[in-house]
Structure 1
Amino acid sequence: MDTGDTTWILIATALVLFMHVPGLALFYGGLVSDRNVVSTMMHSFVSLIIVSVVWILWGYSLSYGTSTGGFIGGLDYLGFNDVGGEAALGTLTIPHYLFAMLQTVYAAITVAIISGGIAGRISFSAWVIFAVLWPTFVYAPMAHWVWGGGWLFQMGELDFAGGTVVHILSGVSALVAALMIGPRRGHLTSEQRPHNIVLFLFGAATLWFGWFGFNGGSALASGATTSLVFATTHAAGAAAGLSWLIIEWILRKRPTLIGTATGVIAGLVAITPGAGFVTVLSALIIGLAAAPVCYFSINFLKARLKYDDTLDAFGVHGMAGIWGALATGIFATTDVNSAGNNGLLYGNPEQLLHQFVGVVTAVVLGVVGTFIILKVISLFTSLRVKKEDELLGLDLSFHKEPAYHSISQLDNMNTLSSKSEHGAS
């Protein structure tokens, strides 16, 4: 056991928790209309609560228990049984409790990301059930395959901090959910503007800050690799933000704050799978390329296909995750990592093939798993809120808790309360 390593992972775990709430909650909450701020933040907050319980009871065991044929973990750690103060997994220099908690917050934020694709229209009951089933049947198997000693790990696929496990899986799942639930009312006929760019920016900055823990925590120690990860993470985020700014300036004649900050997030997503495997210069290239990949996905692919990924969970997390996973197969080098895997540029084209298999696996699992889970949920409850509730906004129609006590919102709330009283009588 090493006290320095333990201290760092304690901090990293707290940073990832901070990314979740307030980070992602503010990031998503600032982008939606003022009618759905509370409901959007609730999705992030509730996913943290539910997934944490699921992960303690059975999710962690399915991911890191004794492997069954390389496909799923055993039941060794149900309810954190046999998870204690000893060295995690018998080989690490941090307590098992701490390693398990780090994996808990990773799982929770992955579910929260999905909510960005369906904000403003998914029913709360459906979301609660989804937050139980999806990490159990989609995230846990993928985490086992990549990080828990499963078949992708054995094959040699590289994913330092969650390019396939977190970002591709959540981005693709968000797209599937958005297609199944359908677009927002007036999606194509009226402009959907963010209600508070200040909240959005504070959320984006919090995510950037927390990403040092998200990526750096995956080193599972403090030292040279963690220092490298800090450098590659920051370089990719900054490069992608600059790249997005330039693209907007050229194509739209003006850079925007929302666009530039979104570019930073795209770069952070893209470097996640290779943060500890590539050089800082390679991280700059990965970040620079991530911005156009996501920009054109959001502004051209999405516009042409007319799907409603509300907050571009697929356009940013899915697409940047795919690029980052493949880029790891190109730029990985043993000059800076101890994984023993070089990428295409360093004489090992086979690594790119392994990364491609990992990407395809995450996409297929995300599509099939999310589709089945939502179909099952729809047998018991509606996936989508009623038309009148959606038009009024979920803050008032369901939570009865407006984010802002403006005159119009108070009038709407009074009208809603009056209708409820008349209905009850």
Structure 2
Amino acid sequence: MVDTGATAWVLTSAALVLLMTPGLALFYGGMVRPKSVLNMMMMSFGSLALIGVLWVLYGYSIAFGQDVGGGLLGNPTEYLGLKGLMEDTTSESGGLPAMAFVAFQAVFAIITVALISGAIADRVKFSTWMVFAGIWATIVYFPVAHWVFDFSNDDTGHVGGWIANNLKALDFAGGTAVHINAGVAGLVLAIITGKRRGFGRDPMRPHNLPLVMLGAGLLWFGWFGFNAGSALAANNTAAVVFVNTIVATSAAMLGWLVTERFRDGHATSLGAASGAVAGLVAITPACNALSPVGSIIMGAIAGVLCALAVGLKYKLGYDDSLDVVGVHLVGGLWGTLAIGLFATAAAPAGADGLFYGGGAGLLGTQAVGAFAVLAYSAVLTAIIGFALKATMGWRIPEEDEVAGIDQAQHAESGYDLVGTFGGHGPSAGTAAPTSKRTSEGASA
């Protein structure tokens, strides 16, 4: 029998997670220059369009079909086109219809791909991005989702992925499959595509900080579906996860703002938005394994670590436009590894980390899971990225990048300043930057 309460919770959570992708578009769109805002938002909307279709055709089957590769790959044809699932109410425990689970996992796939786009803002062909998104989802995200999210079921004989069932690493809502996966992919693409014209020299300030904060707010709102929805029922686990998501995010924002205050002399709105996202990223894998106090400690450290990590691109020379690496890769790694330190058996996951008397075993397990996903994603992303560079090409012409990618790629402008000001529109972003980060980049 269908559990209508669980079904309602999961479908509502899926809608919340779907909202996160338009929220991400606003978040990213506000952080680029006015001439790039539409292209930046289109990269998120393009991911939403393409991955939604691929998920139904074969993505769900690769991720959640019967394992055919030693825990590495689900059967791509088992649920081809979602065949046989419209009347199946037994695929998930607790009376959750299979199609509700399909919908919930679809929006995870969509936003994971969209997250990568922030690393290559302002400079790549939209067509190449779309081809990359389809290939990357197929050979990177869908298999990794199988590794992490597909649990075996002895009652039905279903065999799932190796991280979930053999390694038994804890990742409640996607620190590995979503954030480490997308973060390292962003790093690889930033290196392959090269720096924006004028990176490190020209001001590249966020053009609309209210848009950034609105996007961050929508992400935080949707993230309750992301994390608490992963309980797959309206139960105690969902409630614990909900509270941990609130407090870790709040603490991370405080950690980021304090770091900014000591480093730059100012606590900024961009820092507040970025700190919130850093906390959301970090608590994602750990939200069912930590206590609320442990979540506060872990979140505060995440805010500091990610605030410091966004400066690495200037020291190491890669142009991660919107700090996907500093927030998603670093935040995802920290949140996944922090389970091995702060997990408590009193939480729903029922495991003790190092600081709760559990020894270092769990920390080692978490590290293996995290770095396995990182290595797989890095290698496959490099292969895809270099192949597309040699065939389609990644970069738009220099003159188009200088004039504005919105007009070059979409024949549109985000702001009709000519129509509004009679051809004498004000130049955007004339205020002096308060820090190097606000003048040359932003956070993702």
Q: Deviations over 1:389-412 (max 9, x none)?
A: 111111111211101011299979
Q: Partner of 1:383 in structure 2?
A: 394
Q: Partner of 1:50 in structure 2?
A: 50
- Give SS of 1:158's match: coil
- Give SS of 2:91's match: helix
- Give SS of 2:181's match: helix
Q: Partner of 1:283 in structure 2?
A: 295
CA–CA distance in 2 between the matches of 1:410 and 1:359?
Answer: 54
Q: Partner of 1:178 in structure 2?
A: 190
> Is 1:271 the equivalent of 2:272?
no
Q: Partner of 1:353 in structure 2?
A: 364
CA–CA distance in 1 between the matches of 2:391 and 2:81?
Answer: 27
Letter in 2 for 1:376: A
Range with greater deviation from structure 2 (90-99 or 35-44): 90-99
Q: CA deviation at 1:380?
A: 2.8
- Give SS of 1:67's match: coil
TM-score by length of 1: 0.93
Q: Which consecutive residues of structure 1, in runs of 5 or more, have no partner in the other structure?
A: 413-425
> Is 1:373 the equivalent of 2:384?
yes
Q: Deviations over 1:151-172 (max 9, x none)?
A: 1112111100000000000011
Letter in 2 for 1:9: V
Q: Deviations over 1:276-304 (max 9, x none)?
A: 111111110110000111111112x2221
Q: CA deviation at 1:92?
A: 3.9
Structure 2 matches for 1:262-341, cutoff 5 A? 262-299=274-311, 301-337=312-348, 339-341=349-351
Letter in 2 for 1:390: E
- Give SS of 1:341's match: coil
Q: Partner of 1:34 in structure 2?
A: 34
CA–CA distance in 2 between the matches of 1:366 and 1:92?
Answer: 33
> Is 1:255 the equivalent of 2:257?
no
Q: Deviations over 1:24-56 (max 9, x none)?
A: 010000000000011000000010010011111
CA–CA distance in 1 between the matches of 2:62 and 2:344?
Answer: 31
CA–CA distance in 2 between the matches of 1:90 and 1:357?
Answer: 27
Q: Deviations over 1:172-201 (max 9, x none)?
A: 100100100001000011121011001111
- Give SS of 2:248's match: helix
- Give SS of 2:279's match: helix
CA contact (8 A) 1:331 1:343 kept: yes
Residue identity (%): 44
Picking from 129, 132, 135, the partner of 1:133 is 135
- Give SS of 1:160's match: coil
CA–CA distance in 2 between the matches of 1:246 and 1:313?
Answer: 21
Q: Partner of 1:12 in structure 2?
A: 13
CA–CA distance in 1 between the matches of 2:3 and 2:181?
Answer: 33
CA contact (8 A) 1:156 1:351 kept: no
CA contact (8 A) 1:88 1:99 kept: no
CA contact (8 A) 1:142 1:362 kept: yes
Letter in 1 for 2:175: G
Picking from 211, 223, 228, the partner of 1:211 is 223
Q: Partner of 1:94 in structure 2?
A: 96
Q: CA deviation at 1:340?
A: 4.4
Structure 2 matches for 1:149-188, cutoff 5 A? 149-153=160-164, 154-188=166-200
Change (3 A) 1:184 1:272: same
CA contact (8 A) 1:55 1:104 kept: yes
Q: Partner of 1:245 in structure 2?
A: 257
Range with greater deviation from structure 2 (159-168 or 274-283): 274-283
Structure 2 matches for 1:49-88, cutoff 5 A? 49-68=49-68, 69-74=70-75, 75-87=77-89
Change (3 A) 1:231 1:340: closer
**Higher helix proportion (structure 1 or 2):** 1
Q: CA deviation at 1:88?
A: 5.0
Picking from 119, 125, 130, the partner of 1:123 is 125
> Is 1:343 the equivalent of 2:353?
yes
Instruction: Calculate the aligned-residue CA RMSD, in Å.
Output: 1.6
CA–CA distance in 2 between the matches of 1:114 and 1:410?
Answer: 38
Q: Which consecutive residues of structure 2, in runs of 5 or more, have no partner in the other structure?
A: 151-159, 425-444
CA–CA distance in 2 between the matches of 1:374 and 1:385?
Answer: 15
CA–CA distance in 2 between the matches of 1:204 and 1:174?
Answer: 20
CA–CA distance in 1 between the matches of 2:45 and 2:206?
Answer: 20
CA–CA distance in 1 between the matches of 2:148 and 2:408?
Answer: 41
- Give SS of 1:94's match: coil
CA–CA distance in 1 between the matches of 2:395 and 2:62?
Answer: 30
Change (3 A) 1:331 1:85: farther
Letter in 2 for 1:20: T
Q: CA deviation at 1:342?
A: 2.6
Letter in 1 for 2:109: A
Change (3 A) 1:194 1:410: farther
CA contact (8 A) 1:265 1:316 kept: yes
- Give SS of 1:72's match: coil
> Is 1:402 the equivalent of 2:418?
no
Picking from 109, 112, 115, the partner of 1:113 is 115
Change (3 A) 1:92 1:410: farther
CA–CA distance in 1 between the matches of 2:273 and 2:29?
Answer: 15
CA–CA distance in 2 between the matches of 1:130 and 1:220?
Answer: 31
Letter in 2 for 1:114: I
Range with greater deviation from structure 2 (212-221 or 343-352): 343-352
Change (3 A) 1:87 1:401: same
TM-score by length of 2: 0.90
CA contact (8 A) 2:167 2:365 kept: yes
- Give SS of 2:121's match: coil
Q: CA deviation at 1:334?
A: 2.4
Between Structure 1 and Structure 2, how many residues are aligned? 409
> Is 1:224 the equivalent of 2:236?
yes
Q: CA deviation at 1:363?
A: 1.2
